[in-house]
Amino acid sequence: MRLGSYLIPSLLALILHGVVIALLAQSWFEHDDPQRKVPRHVQATIVDMSEKKAQRKAASEAKAKQKADLQRRADADKKRKVEQKRKQDLANKKAAEAKKQKEINRKKAAEAKKKADLKKKQDAAKKKQQQEAKIKKAAADKKRKQEAAKKAKAAAEAKEKAEAKRRADKARKEAEAAAQNAALIRAMEEEEAAIAAEEQRAAAMSYEAYIIAEITRNWRRSPSARNGMMVEVTVHLLPSGRVNDRYVTKSSGDSRFDNDALRAIDRVNVFEKLQNLDPVVFDRYFRKRVFRFRPEDLRD
């Protein structure tokens, strides 16, 4: 055995003996307590050196076993890494071959696409030429038809224009003749209307003189009447000649003079001769009449 294996137990034994001696020395030099003395107890531990050896051996074996386990794990990791590298290399090789094959396929596809695009362009160019030829032919046909239609339209327009001119001349002549006839008829009607109006006016004048005479005959002037006074009275008549209403529309300023005028109309009450008038003449001249009364005379 090595000397170091006895060193630690020896040190422990010396320390233990030193502690025991210190405790005993304290009890030796202590004075007696006059009141009460408490006995002191010392706890000692016996160290078994054989057990320590067994523990050291077990620790050494555990350490050796741990080292062996670590080595075994290291060897297993190394082996696993080698296997992984082999698999990775194989996968890389396969990936490279797949990439190479993919590139070959891509080139083949590109070549095929290039050929297809070329054929497509050729077909498109051919189709475009055919369409252009068809469009040109259609344009030529359309132009020819348009020219023919233009000529036909021009001829039809010329014919229609001539026909329209003929119709316009005929209509103008007919309109001129109709206008002349209408003017002649209108002139005749106006002449007849003038004659009728004159006859009506003459008849109205005769009846007007009759009405004024009747009112003058029934008018009694009040003493307050003076020259320059004038009252305006509006009279509404019926076709029978009866007075329907009468009222002052402009006073003279003298209520007695105004009432004298109203009483004169009331005394007549009915102008019987107006029954013989033509209704048109009556409505025009006598349906509503305005009379002006002055002291010196009665004026219509």
The pLDDT assigned to 27 comes to: 64
The pLDDT assigned to 264 comes to: 94
The pLDDT assigned to 57 comes to: 87
Domain locations in the chain as residue ranges: 203-299
Residue type, 119: K
Q: In this structure, are residues 208 and 300 in contact, taking their beta carbons and an 8 Å threshold? A: yes
pTM exceeds 0.85 = no
The pLDDT assigned to 7 comes to: 77
Nearest to 277 by CA among 220, 231, 208: 208
The pLDDT assigned to 295 comes to: 85
The pLDDT assigned to 5 comes to: 66
Q: In this structure, are residues 257 and 233 in contact, taking their beta carbons and an 8 Å threshold? A: no
* Fold topology of 203-299: 3.30.1150
Distance CA 295, CA 132 (A): 112
Residue numbers in the chain where pLDDT is lower than 70: 1-5, 26-48, 184-185, 187-188, 191-201, 203, 297-300
- The DSSP-derived string for 123-136 is HHHHHHHHHHHHHH
Report how far apart the first and last C-alpha atoms of the chain are (Å, whole number): 181
Q: How far is CA 225 from the centre of its chain?
A: 84
The pLDDT assigned to 17 comes to: 85
At 155, list the tokens. Answer: 């001829």
